[in-house]
């Protein structure tokens, strides 16, 4: 798939990666039609090669990963009595706690 854009002022047809939103003078083409595209006499066809390499992680992705690693490495408090009551924490899974009431 590719997007064809006509630039009438420059007598140019630009064939590039599939557009993410519609614009005037733009047409989406299947791969067969994109390969066989010709322009009127006197016009130039500019073919923009798509970037076939997948994009690497962004700066934000790396920061989020570092934050997740820091959070996972943070020491967890030991299970024990909950302040202000007789309830005892007997386990933890992520942000959830398993509590036991010693009176029961």
- Domain range annotation of the chain: 2-47, 76-104
List the structure tokens of 16. Answer: 């590039």
Taking only the tens place, the pLDDT of each residue in 21-76 is 888 778 999 989 988 999 889 999 999 976 656 667 788 888 888 888 888 888 77
* DSSP letters spanning 12-45: EEEEESPPSS--TTEEEE-HHHHHT----TT-EE
Task: Give pTM, 2 decimals.
Answer: 0.47
Average of pLDDT values for 71-91?
Answer: 70
């Amino acid at each position: 798939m590719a997007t064809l854009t006509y630039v009438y002022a420059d007598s140019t047809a630009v064939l590039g990666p599939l557009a993410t939103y519609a614009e005037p003078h733009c047409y989406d083409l299947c791969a067969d039609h994109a390969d066989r595209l010709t322009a009127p006499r006197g016009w130039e066809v500019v073919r923009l090669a798509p970037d076939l390499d997948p994009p690497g992680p962004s700066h934000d992705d790396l920061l989020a990963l570092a934050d997740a690693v820091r959070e996972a490495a943070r020491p967890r408090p030991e299970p024990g009595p909950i302040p202000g009551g007789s309830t005892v924490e007997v386990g933890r899974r992520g942000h959830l706690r398993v509590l036991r009431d010693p009176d029961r």
